[in-house]
Structure 1
């Protein structure tokens, strides 16, 4: 292909996962021998799990230690990756001669206009990747790609969503958004950019909702970017106001004369054990042992005693992160999960093995393939999820990480007063995000964007769809 196309070569320069894998000495010999053959080198460590490690376990530019110095072995340009989100870090990698080009897959998913914003000197407008790997999960679950930061990802053609531009408003209307979590913030920002007059109210003293709480858990600090980006954008919009410590009631919401109300009041964790294993409240008896939920722990509540049992029937990041938090606070922690591994769903984000290793190294007692069948006064009755064999685990308190319930009281109250809407000028009320259906942060952000995009969509039960479909026809 000489003269017709450039040939790039990606090569693994460190196989840390394998005891007898390629090491630095060997890769230097390989590059010394083959260095001038391709037109471009792409140096990466290990497997995809090493290459696309989550922010919970590594900061940006984590691959620097493996690629530093290799560029000197070839005259051909070198590109590298490492979830670069800071323009300063990107510039440093080039100026120090570590790389010639910056590769940014996940950061470009989060913000396809990343290069332009750097070029135009607008780093504050960059939608920084949070490193959660929800984008990767689509590959493992055989589902459309999603991005926590960029809800337009995968919807550019299907719904005509653009990552930067928004359709102008269809009418001079006012929207009340109740709840400043990921769904509420996204809805308020997108509506504001469409030109609507928006009032965002939040009952607490902090904007961000669940993101503000979960970003304080071990390893999840970068997740606060979900709130930070949207708050930064909202601060530039004169047509969006926000108010803290405003616990809205249906009476108040109706009295202000808004045309539309979006209820984004989030969800709460259940304390009755209902989840994937126990599907009804009456199947797991609870006696006198103190019960905690993730909401309690994230709000600062700590149990009395020295030993806490964690029942993780959620299977994502929450159970492991809270177990790690409690262990760091000095508690003995025993974690039970019905699955064969801890945090089983994180296989889809390529971090399950790291989570399990971290919990083991922290001294947390793991009981996999184990479900809690009853909470007694001073112990838990458990059972093997394969054989049903019963056992007991002593504890001073139990943290139930099971399922969540929509915090939809305001939504239901407004629906109950539907007959009053016309007199108050109210046209629509919708629950969005976790207030509609508790899910991932990415799903909540997506729901906020959808609400803003479809505000004027018809609300009847017609067969019309607000998105394009690929339809095949037989000849």
Structure 2
């Protein structure tokens, strides 16, 4: 199961996405968390709901799309307790014990402690949701106690359960509600559906919360009660760690003791992308089945490729968590590796299939970065004659440079998979160390030119905070991320990094320079280092890493001026300035598209387009998507700018 930013708002898109995974051979395809009651409302996040019978048709559509490919459909019923703030329903949140509600925005809301009637009503609501799930056609009906987001975990954990009645105190008492709801659910669905339990094995709070030994004791109390144990970590940021901080299979130490406690199947996760690793954990008896959210996003056809022996064709997850960010931004799911993710219904894209060419055109792609490689690969798959040229000595563009930074090695998979696919195509040629001028392009005689030359980091400090260049003294040592990635280093050992980008780059470069024994101060106008990474579940880990390696962080500050021996900091709230001594400055602010060639060709009358960072600097995922979109739409009649390039669902108005 995984959230996706679509939920009840984009039902057809969500159904198509789940159906694509079933087509790809996954044995069980599950929904994300599904709110069982209007008092379990996690708005503004867009998840699924099973509040009443009105929700059954939407959920049935998802199950039907899964069943169409002979996979089992699972539904993750959820009441989020004190983490459901009920902003839409305006109900008072409930919790095992009274406490402030936990929300992304720190909403000024408190959850009330549940009394016995509340517990009875919760059981009734879960039973009603289970019956609706069965009516919608689901084969597995989950009881959810994971990620710090399920109320049954809140009852189980002494970190959130301070009760003194039969539902608090001892482990047996704290596990009572979970046991009762499992029994209720099994009674409701009968032998028509399996009832798995998704449970958090570790809350990482020491003895104050759940630890593997105590969770194992809880599992032992009801070992044979559910039909399957689905193991995870808590919170979500611990469960879905990025490749920057965790290797494949990182959860194994926390879950390896469960198999010996039960005869029921055990499922585990850990961003498994290697078939060899998957086989190992099964053979070692750590788990019976592999759970895969992010790997199935990157390659919905991973199981079929294993079955067919096409292991080299697996599009491996890079562990960047761009998929997660779009649940937090409440927008449709996307993936760096798989640009069709979230576009199955909206644009009709398929991760493995693309329509054949409509003309005999020869396309020249200038730039072998993520956009250029994806465009060339997809055009080649369509059957076009494609030439890819890049001035660099290696393919990959920004990916080739960034994957050498601390923790980002797995990001190189974006390049590697595309090069492997292109290498199999006789109709696609790749030329490196080939800088293309307008004259050379004319001589080649391609029918269409796609410029995907990337972007360069700005040297003047212009970005979000400064709309005009920063004042710099003559002779000041000022560098950009491009300089550092090219091997250049600061002239001074005392470095300030001005991070007005707020994603990963500033923090990664700070870590790089500290490892090389530079003294580093990270200055950011935001309140936190790498602030956007809250959405990728990394921010707290990044800030801890920076502090642990000795990076000084100056938050809520901007670099207003750069001298040879200091920078002038200004508070973003008061404007108060002060000098901070340093000898070198790295500016991580904004990027300029390298689009000069595009404009020159367009001015000379060439049939030319642009893609990726050359068109609009953004994420690697955006660049890959841009390349795929060009390839998908190439040869089509021009679309009017006012026409939508995708489908969307519009709410049907109530007639009352």
Name the TM tier (shorter chain): over 0.9
Partner of 1:441: 620
Partner of 2:500: 313
Partner of 1:334: 521
Pairing of 1:239-254 with structure 2 (within 5 A): 239-254=427-442
Gaps of 5+ in 2: 1-188
Contact 1:285 1:373 in 2 (8 A): no
2:586 maps to which of 380, 395, 399: 399
Partner of 1:292: 479
Superposition deviation, residue 171 in structure 1: 1.0
Looking at structure 2, the residues matched to 182 and 4 of structure 1 have their Cα atoms a distance apart, in angstroms, of: 47
Partner of 1:385: 572
Superposition deviation, residue 137 in structure 1: 0.3
Is 2:408 the partner of 1:220?
A: yes
RMSD of aligned alpha carbons: 1.2
Pairing of 1:70-89 with structure 2 (within 5 A): 70-89=258-277
Looking at structure 2, the residues matched to 200 and 68 of structure 1 have their Cα atoms a distance apart, in angstroms, of: 47
Closer, same or farther in 2 for the Cα pair 1:70/1:198, shift >3 Å? Answer: same
Superposition deviation, residue 464 in structure 1: 3.4
Looking at structure 1, the residues matched to 479 and 348 of structure 2 have their Cα atoms a distance apart, in angstroms, of: 44
Pairing of 1:360-439 with structure 2 (within 5 A): 360-418=547-605, 421=606, 428-439=607-618
List per-residue Cα deviations over 1:195-220 (Å, max 9, x = no partner).
Answer: 00000001010000000000000000
Looking at structure 2, the residues matched to 284 and 74 of structure 1 have their Cα atoms a distance apart, in angstroms, of: 67
Aligned residues: 466
Contact 2:212 2:255 in 1 (8 A): no
Looking at structure 1, the residues matched to 245 and 322 of structure 2 have their Cα atoms a distance apart, in angstroms, of: 15
Is 2:216 the partner of 1:34?
A: no
Is 2:634 the partner of 1:455?
A: yes
Closer, same or farther in 2 for the Cα pair 1:464/1:456, shift >3 Å? Answer: farther
Partner of 1:424: none
**TM-score (ref. length: structure 2):** 0.70
Superposition deviation, residue 468 in structure 1: 2.1
Closer, same or farther in 2 for the Cα pair 1:18/1:459, shift >3 Å? Answer: farther
Is 2:457 the partner of 1:278?
A: no
Partner of 1:136: 324
Worse overlay, 388-397 or 161-170:
388-397
Superposition deviation, residue 19 in structure 1: 5.4
Looking at structure 2, the residues matched to 469 and 27 of structure 1 have their Cα atoms a distance apart, in angstroms, of: 43
**TM-score (ref. length: structure 1):** 0.96
SS at match of 2:192: coil
Partner of 1:425: none
Closer, same or farther in 2 for the Cα pair 1:460/1:13, shift >3 Å? Answer: closer
Gaps of 5+ in 1: 422-427
Contact 1:278 1:284 in 2 (8 A): no
Looking at structure 2, the residues matched to 26 and 142 of structure 1 have their Cα atoms a distance apart, in angstroms, of: 35
SS at match of 1:253: helix
SS at match of 1:224: helix
Closer, same or farther in 2 for the Cα pair 1:456/1:466, shift >3 Å? Answer: farther
2:299 maps to which of 93, 111, 129: 111
Looking at structure 2, the residues matched to 164 and 355 of structure 1 have their Cα atoms a distance apart, in angstroms, of: 35
Is 2:654 the partner of 1:466?
A: no
List per-residue Cα deviations over 1:60-101 (Å, max 9, x = no partner).
Answer: 110000001211001100001110000000000101110000
Looking at structure 1, the residues matched to 521 and 257 of structure 2 have their Cα atoms a distance apart, in angstroms, of: 45
Superposition deviation, residue 385 in structure 1: 1.1
Contact 2:216 2:257 in 1 (8 A): no
Superposition deviation, residue 308 in structure 1: 0.8
- Rg larger for: 2
Looking at structure 2, the residues matched to 28 and 208 of structure 1 have their Cα atoms a distance apart, in angstroms, of: 46
Contact 1:203 1:246 in 2 (8 A): yes
SS at match of 1:349: coil
| Higher RCO structure (Cα 8 Å, ≥6 apart) | 1
Contact 2:244 2:407 in 1 (8 A): yes
Pairing of 1:51-130 with structure 2 (within 5 A): 51-130=239-318
SS at match of 1:324: helix
